[in-house]
């Protein structure tokens, strides 16, 4: 054969199978465009001109890796569906005299044409939409808008390289499917049914156990630190359990329905149930894939939108006042109090020189230790490095020691304490009685700090783990008692912590400038003392918070769009391929008297049976993992469960409406195929 004939055959095959290739091209173009946009925003230098946007660009850079991995997986899936739908065509080519080498050339040119269309359309669309994406990104992260249009050559080259590699891998996979399949199998590919999986009860029970194990891990998590460690494990278990349950469940469902003669032997059920029974494993795997994608969309959008809408509250949790000074170091020194007083006096002088009026002062220093809390005792000798796989991180608690004088000044009280007596307060899951033991010292609890007081005065801010506040009569005496405790690396276990916060009468620009002046002063004053120290203004940190949460939300939207399109294509290819498989069955049923009205009822029966399972299961997954998501978001300063629930509910509603639209479109396509109108 002449070499030029292979491209013509490949192009003709694509044109004849337009119903299959057009959605594939659309998805490929979208993925290439989104990859270019993410790479453009992350690496072109456009967003680096904006102050405070570095975190967001890091998120976008991470998104490029996610897109590359997901694009590979999904395009592999869709290309496999395309090849499967055309195996009988390749079988016909073999019968007409083409050998495996000739078929490989046709596959090569089909892949090359697909790559060309994907890159040309995707990069063109990406360049055209990049400015719109940049404007949306700028709006989300609250940075000045730049209306200059630009094209990133680096992003174009990277996109071409990445997707050329992906399509080359797709070509190798397609070649494997065609060259290593017998001619008779190629011809009969669309007529080959599936054998029911063996031991499906065992598969189903195992899936339920794994799924419930994932749920159990997710529901028992109480603290953000535990969520960070166990969430990935719970996610893997839920994914595996979902696949096993839906694969086995589809088999069992078909068998149960077939055994129910009153249900099965009805016009609108007989063909649909028998059709599902012929593709049990593939049906369950497809439903599980759709379910996982829907769950990913719901989790991603609900969490990132909640973070973004809660940006102001998270900012206030981290920086409760307009000006926030902080110093911290490990170990004990009785002179730390004098150091703190000297820094505070220096800050006050510089604030007065700047001409600012100060209100709402809160200043104190404390010591804190972290240990393993159980039965009203904080164990300070536990070595987490030796027990990293077995330790219960829900029981990791930090104890802050505060002097009674600072407590009375902050709270406006006049409490007194004797040696051995304490006033306590808790943040998180900490329970105790009339006595509490820290290390080898036991204290009598004579009073408790109300949660409302802790919230109002923000003594401890942004705590990711449970916290115990202990007010003592002499802070230095209490700290000296724990000065000898060491961690697993031999470093001091106790940490000195100083905070000085206040508000001013300055506008945002003045607050930012004053914060910089005070920050330089603290750095120079504590230079050489090995202390973590800073003074930051609330307004100066606003850009970083909106950059982080806006970048996450922007990335969540783009990835959710990709996942949603992928979900649509999985459903579409599922319906198209099954439509051609069922066309002969419905044709026979029409010859024996089945009307198109009966066919429509049968299709609706099958669709409702199959399509409701993924969305319902995805909503169940979302409901179970929502508390875990809340714990993870607490690491970002988010503690607004009602907002998260509302966001999840709205996302589930919108996703459900869109999913219903997909059901309507694909059921119509399936109906036209089985009725022979296409």
Backbone angles phi, psi at 608, to 5 degrees: -65, -35
Q: Which residues contact 678 (CB under 8 A, 6 or more apart)?
A: 19, 672
Determine, yes or no, domain membership for 535: no
| Nearest alpha-carbon partner for 243 in 273, 197, 211 | 211
| pLDDT (0 to 100) of residue 120 | 92
Alpha helices by DSSP H, listed for 356-427, are 404-411
Q: How far apart are alpha carbons 163 and 158 in whole angstroms?
A: 9
| Mean pLDDT along residues 143-151 | 67
| pLDDT (0 to 100) of residue 199 | 47
| Mean pLDDT along residues 385-406 | 74
| pLDDT (0 to 100) of residue 467 | 84
| Mean pLDDT along residues 327-345 | 87
Environment class of 311 (CB within 10 Å of its CB; exposed 0-12, middle 13-18, buried 19+): buried
In this structure, the answer to whether residues 349 and 446 fall within a common structural domain is yes
In this structure, the answer to whether residues 7 and 97 fall within a common structural domain is yes
Give residue 10's pLDDT band: very low, low, confident or very high (50, 70, 90). confident
Give the pLDDT confidence of 361-392 residue by residue, as tens digits: 888 888 988 888 888 888 887 655 455 455 66
* Position 155 pLDDT exceeds 90: no
Determine, yes or no, domain membership for 531: no
| pLDDT (0 to 100) of residue 296 | 85
Q: How far apart are alpha carbons 107 and 408 in whole angstroms?
A: 79
* Position 112 pLDDT exceeds 50: yes
| Mean pLDDT along residues 193-198 | 49
Domain closes at, from 158, 192, 226: 192
| pLDDT (0 to 100) of residue 307 | 85
| pLDDT (0 to 100) of residue 282 | 58
* Least trusted range by pLDDT, from 490-504, 537-551, 662-676: 662-676
pLDDT: which is higher, 611 or 613:
613
| pLDDT (0 to 100) of residue 207 | 84
| pLDDT (0 to 100) of residue 152 | 83
Do residues 578 and 275 make contact, with C-beta atoms less than 8 angstroms apart? yes
Give the pLDDT confidence of 635-662 residue by residue, as tens digits: 777 778 889 999 999 988 988 888 888 8
**Look-up: residue for tokens 């029966």?**
605
Q: How far apart are alpha carbons 456 and 478 in whole angstroms?
A: 26
Pairing mode, strands 495-504 and 421-427 = unpaired
Per-position DSSP letters for 256-287, written without gaps between them? HHHH-HHHHSSHHHHHHHHHHHTTHHHHHHHH
In this structure, the answer to whether residues 375 and 474 fall within a common structural domain is yes
In this structure, the answer to whether residues 587 and 498 fall within a common structural domain is no
Determine, yes or no, domain membership for 410: yes
CA distances to 428, 429, 450 from 222, rounded to whole Å, are 9, 8, 21
Do residues 152 and 39 make contact, with C-beta atoms less than 8 angstroms apart? yes
Q: How far apart are alpha carbons 108 and 246 in whole angstroms?
A: 36
| Mean pLDDT along residues 457-468 | 70
Do residues 415 and 486 make contact, with C-beta atoms less than 8 angstroms apart? no
Q: Which residues contact 467 (CB under 8 A, 6 or more apart)?
A: 397, 398, 399, 400, 426, 427, 428, 430, 460
**Look-up: residue for tokens 């192009």?**
11
In this structure, the answer to whether residues 389 and 342 fall within a common structural domain is yes
* Position 270 pLDDT exceeds 80: no
657 Cα distance to chain centroid: 22
Q: How far apart are alpha carbons 196 and 628 in whole angstroms?
A: 37
* Position 161 pLDDT exceeds 90: yes
**Look-up: residue for tokens 């033991």?**
437
Determine, yes or no, domain membership for 443: yes
| Mean pLDDT along residues 169-185 | 70
In this structure, the answer to whether residues 337 and 303 fall within a common structural domain is no
In this structure, the answer to whether residues 87 and 234 fall within a common structural domain is no
* Least trusted range by pLDDT, from 108-117, 250-259, 605-614, 634-643: 250-259
Long-range pairs of 14-19 with CB within 8 A, sequence gap ≥ 24: 14/110, 14/113, 14/114, 17/82, 17/85, 17/86, 19/576, 19/678
The secondary structure of 311-343, three-state, reads HHHHHHHHCCCCEEEEEEEECCCCCHHHHHHHH
| Nearest alpha-carbon partner for 371 in 494, 532, 477 | 494
Q: What is the mean pLDDT of the chain?
A: 78
Backbone angles phi, psi at 201, to 5 degrees: -65, -40
| pLDDT (0 to 100) of residue 71 | 79
| pLDDT (0 to 100) of residue 278 | 56
Determine, yes or no, domain membership for 283: yes
| Mean pLDDT along residues 270-286 | 60
Backbone angles phi, psi at 223, to 5 degrees: -125, 155
Do residues 186 and 91 make contact, with C-beta atoms less than 8 angstroms apart? yes
Do residues 579 and 179 make contact, with C-beta atoms less than 8 angstroms apart? no
Domain closes at, from 131, 162, 192: 192
Per-position DSSP letters for 201-220, written without gaps between them? HHHHHHHHHHHHHHHHHHHH
| pLDDT (0 to 100) of residue 194 | 47
**Look-up: residue for tokens 């912590």?**
497
| pLDDT (0 to 100) of residue 458 | 66
Q: How far apart are alpha carbons 203 and 242 in whole angstroms?
A: 11
In this structure, the answer to whether residues 59 and 13 fall within a common structural domain is yes
Determine, yes or no, domain membership for 511: no
- Other Cβ atoms closer than 10 A to 629: 21
In this structure, the answer to whether residues 467 and 494 fall within a common structural domain is yes
Count of the separate structural domains present in the chain: 3
In this structure, the answer to whether residues 411 and 328 fall within a common structural domain is yes
In this structure, the answer to whether residues 173 and 84 fall within a common structural domain is yes
Determine, yes or no, domain membership for 658: yes
Q: Provide the residue range defining the domain that includes 9.
A: 1-192
Give the pLDDT confidence of 210-252 residue by residue, as tens digits: 888 888 888 877 777 666 677 778 888 888 888 888 777 666 6
* Position 45 pLDDT exceeds 70: no
Handedness of CA 145, 150, 151, 154 (dihedral sign): negative
In this structure, the answer to whether residues 335 and 428 fall within a common structural domain is yes
* Least trusted range by pLDDT, from 22-26, 210-214, 591-595: 591-595
Q: How far apart are alpha carbons 420 and 445 in whole angstroms?
A: 9
Is 590 strand, coil or helix?
Answer: helix
Is 534 strand, coil or helix?
Answer: strand
Per-position DSSP letters for 461-490, written without gaps between them? -S-SSEEEEEEES-HHHHHHHTTT-B-TTS
Do residues 386 and 511 make contact, with C-beta atoms less than 8 angstroms apart? no
Do residues 240 and 285 make contact, with C-beta atoms less than 8 angstroms apart? no
pLDDT > 90: what percent of the chain?
A: 7
Determine, yes or no, domain membership for 677: yes
Q: How far apart are alpha carbons 245 and 473 in whole angstroms?
A: 60
Backbone Cα Rg of the chain: 32
Q: What does the block give as tokens for 582? A: 């069922």
| pLDDT (0 to 100) of residue 70 | 79
Q: What does the block give as tokens for 116? A: 């060309």
**Look-up: residue for tokens 């939409």?**
129
Domain closes at, from 505, 527, 558: 505
Count of all residues that appear for the chain in the document: 678
Q: How far apart are alpha carbons 425 and 451 in whole angstroms?
A: 7
pLDDT: which is higher, 144 or 494:
494
pLDDT > 70: what percent of the chain?
A: 73
């Amino acid at each position: 054969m002449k070499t030029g004939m292979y491209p013509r055959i490949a192009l003709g095959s694509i044109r004849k199978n337009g119903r299959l290739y057009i959605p594939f091209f659309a998805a490929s173009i979208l993925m290439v465009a989104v990859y270019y946009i993410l790479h453009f925003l992350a690496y072109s230098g456009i967003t680096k001109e904006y102050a405070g946007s570095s975190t967001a660009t890091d998120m976008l850079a991470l998104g490029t890796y996610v897109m590359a991995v997901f694009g590979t997986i999904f395009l592999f899936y869709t290309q496999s569906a395309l090849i499967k739908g055309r195996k009988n065509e390749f079988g016909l080519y073999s019968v007409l005299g083409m050998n495996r080498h000739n078929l490989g050339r046709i596959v090569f040119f089909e892949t090359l044409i697909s790559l060309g269309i994907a890159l040309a359309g995707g990069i063109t669309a990406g360049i055209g939409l990049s400015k719109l994406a940049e404007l949306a990104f700028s709006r989300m992260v609250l940075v000045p808008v730049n209306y200059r249009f630009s094209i990133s050559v680096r992003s174009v080259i990277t996109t071409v390289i990445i997707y050329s590699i992906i399509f080359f891998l797709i070509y190798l996979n397609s070649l494997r499917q065609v060259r290593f399949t017998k001619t008779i199998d190629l011809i009969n590919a669309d007529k080959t049914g599936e054998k029911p999986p063996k031991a499906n009860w065992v598969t189903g029970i195992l899936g339920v156990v794994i799924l419930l194990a994932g749920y159990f891990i997710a529901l028992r998590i109480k603290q953000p630190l535990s969520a960070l460690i166990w969430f990935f494990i719970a996610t893997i278990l839920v994914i595996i359990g979902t696949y096993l349950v839906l694969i086995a469940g589809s088999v069992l469902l078909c068998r149960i329905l077939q055994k129910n003669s009153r249900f099965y032997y009805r016009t609108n059920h007989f063909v649909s149930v028998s059709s599902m029974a012929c593709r049990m494993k593939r049906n369950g795997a497809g439903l599980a894939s759709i379910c996982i994608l829907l769950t990913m969309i719901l989790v991603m959008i609900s969490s990132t939108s909640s973070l973004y809408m809660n940006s102001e509250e998270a900012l206030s949790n981290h920086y409760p006042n307009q000006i926030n000074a902080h110093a911290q170091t490990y170990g004990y020194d009785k002179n730390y109090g004098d150091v703190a007083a000297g820094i505070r006096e220096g800050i006050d002088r510089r604030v007065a020189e700047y001409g600012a009026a100060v209100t709402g002062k809160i200043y104190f220093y404390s010591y804190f230790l972290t240990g393993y809390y159980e039965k009203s005792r904080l164990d300070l000798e536990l070595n987490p490095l030796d027990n990293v796989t077995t330790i219960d991180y829900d029981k990791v608690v930090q104890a802050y020691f505060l002097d009674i004088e600072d407590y009375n000044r902050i709270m406006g009280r006049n409490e007194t304490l004797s040696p051995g007596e304490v006033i306590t307060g808790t943040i998180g899951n900490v329970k105790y009685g009339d006595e509490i033991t820290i290390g080898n010292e036991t204290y009598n609890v004579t009073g408790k700090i109300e949660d409302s007081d802790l919230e109002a005065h923000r003594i401890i801010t942004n705590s990711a783990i449970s916290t115990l506040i202990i007010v003592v009569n002499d802070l230095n005496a209490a700290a000296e008692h724990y000065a000898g405790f060491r961690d697993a690396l031999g470093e001091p276990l106790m940490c000195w912590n100083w905070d000085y916060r206040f508000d001013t009468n300055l506008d945002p620009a003045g607050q930012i400038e004053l914060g910089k002046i005070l920050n330089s002063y603290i750095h120079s004053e504590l230079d050489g003392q090995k202390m973590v120290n800073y003074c930051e203004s609330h307004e100066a940190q606003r850009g970083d918070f909106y950059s982080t949460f806006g970048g996450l939300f922007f990335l969540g939207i783009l990835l959710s769009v990709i996942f949603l399109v992928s979900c649509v294509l999985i459903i579409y290819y599922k319906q198209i391929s099954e439509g051609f498989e069922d066309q002969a069955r419905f044709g026979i049923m029409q010859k024996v008297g089945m009307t198109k009205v009966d066919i429509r009822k049968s299709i609706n029966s099958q669709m409702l049976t199959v399509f409701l399972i993924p969305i319902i299961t995805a909503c169940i997954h979302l409901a179970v993992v929502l508390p875990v998501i809340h714990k993870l978001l607490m690491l970002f300063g988010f503690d607004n469960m009602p907002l998260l629930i509302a966001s999840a509910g709205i996302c589930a509603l919108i996703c459900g409406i869109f999913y219903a639209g997909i059901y309507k479109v694909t059921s119509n396509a399936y109906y036209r195929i089985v009725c022979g109108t296409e």
